[in-house]
Structure 1
Amino acid sequence: MTNPVLPPFDEKTAIKKIRLAEDAWNTRDPGKVVLAYTENCSWRNRAEFVVGRNEITQLLIRKWTRELDYRLIKGLWAFTGNRIAVRFAYEFHDDSGQWFRAYGNENWEFDDDGLMRRRIASINEHTISSEERKLLWPLGRRPEDHPGLNELGL
């Protein structure tokens, strides 16, 4: 990243940091996503605990092997200093074609270089029909004019 978003965060920089994370995750490229984290970043993702870029990469590979046509929206919940609280929703289908929507929140803590050193994620998901989908842009980055979480009632 040539112009990193560094703590301490204000509302504008917290929103920018969140959008950068959303954009990276929507690439579904573990090698790109993992660069936002410190070498020894600790994660709690649901009930899985991982530490370091290698373990994060392996978790993301498993995730996106199972979660097909993944699309994600993140939004600001709160921020202070070097921490940001995020809420999110994402949709995907499995290899049988069953669609799911997941909701959750994340607590992020950053080092002075703007790399995330701690991520705590709580996630719940449920099945949906393809007609219930709300995240309908082409794979990749969410378009600027696509509604966010609030506008979608998520």
Structure 2
Amino acid sequence: MTRPPVPPFSREDAILKVRMAEDAWNGRDPARVAMACTPDTVWRNRSDFLHSRDQVQAFLARNWQAEQDYRLIRALWCPATDRIAVRFCYEWHDAEGRWFRSNGNENWQFDADGLMTARHASINDVAISDADRLFRWPQGPRPADHPGLTDLGL
């Protein structure tokens, strides 16, 4: 299976890859996101260490149950031949209705077919009020005309 764009990444390819990943995550379909990874992908997400596509899928299902009404924006930080560095923010609320904005950085590595072989994510959560929310589009991919992180001052 090939998942274009594939390495080596131009800046434009990397921007497209980041947006495609953002759209998939906002779709909140764990199986779809996991299929963008190699079967033996290795992830670190906060203090979770995952070692397969199946573990990624199970992790995402659990994560999106806990992080309700999830909305994510990603931005390219730096592309390389087969790696992409990304910064991101997402907003979500817990079961009690408390809102958070999670800020972080990801480092991604891809194989020759464009599948993710590794993901390392560092994430910090900040409590916010409903009035402080900035990501208010309907569930699903971010609309094309919605501001990105830099435009929002994030």
| 2:29 alignment partner AA | D
Distance 2:74 2:12 in 1: 15
Report the counterpart of residue 18 of structure 1 in structure 2.
18
Structure 1 position 47, deviation (Å): 1.1
TM-score (norm 2): 0.97
Q: Give the CA deviation at 1:65.
A: 0.6
Relative to 1, partners in 2 of residues 1:131 and 1:6: Cα closer, same or farther, differing over 3 Å? same
Structure 1 position 70 matched with structure 2 position 58: no
| Residue aligning to 2:101 | 101
Deviations 1:42-63 (A, max 9, x none): 0000011011011101110110
Kept in 1, the 8 Å contact 2:101–2:128? The answer is yes
CA positional deviation for 1:3: 6.6
| 1:42 equivalent in structure 2 | 42
Quote the sequence identity (%).
55
Residue aligning to 2:146: 146
Letter in 2 for 1:36: A
- Cα deviation digits, residues 26-49 of structure 1 (max 9, x gap): 011101110110000000000110
Once the 2 structures are TM-superposed, how far is the Cα of residue 126 of structure 1 from its aligned partner? 1.2
- The one-letter amino acid paired with 2:36 is A
**When the two structures are superposed, what TM-score results if normalisation uses the length of structure 1?**
0.97
- Aligned residues: CA RMSD: 1.1
Q: Secondary structure at the match of 2:70?
A: strand
Cα deviation, 1:1-47, whole Å, max 9, x if unaligned, reads: 87711000111000000000000000111011101100000000001
Aligned equivalents of 1:138, 1:11: Cα separation in 2: 29
- SS state of the match for residue 26, structure 1? helix
AA matched with 1:14: A
Q: Where does structure 1 lack aligned partners over 5 or more consecutive residues?
A: none
User: 5+ residue gaps in structure 2?
Assistant: none
State how many pairs are aligned.
154
Aligned residue for 2:80?
A: 80
1:125-140 matches, cutoff 5 A:
125-140=125-140
Q: Which amino acid aligns with 2:69?
A: D
Could you give the per-residue CA deviations for residues 88-107 of structure 1, whole angstroms, max 9, x where no partner exists? 00000011110000000000
| Residue identity matched to 2:137 | W
Deviation at 1:143, TM superposition (A): 0.4
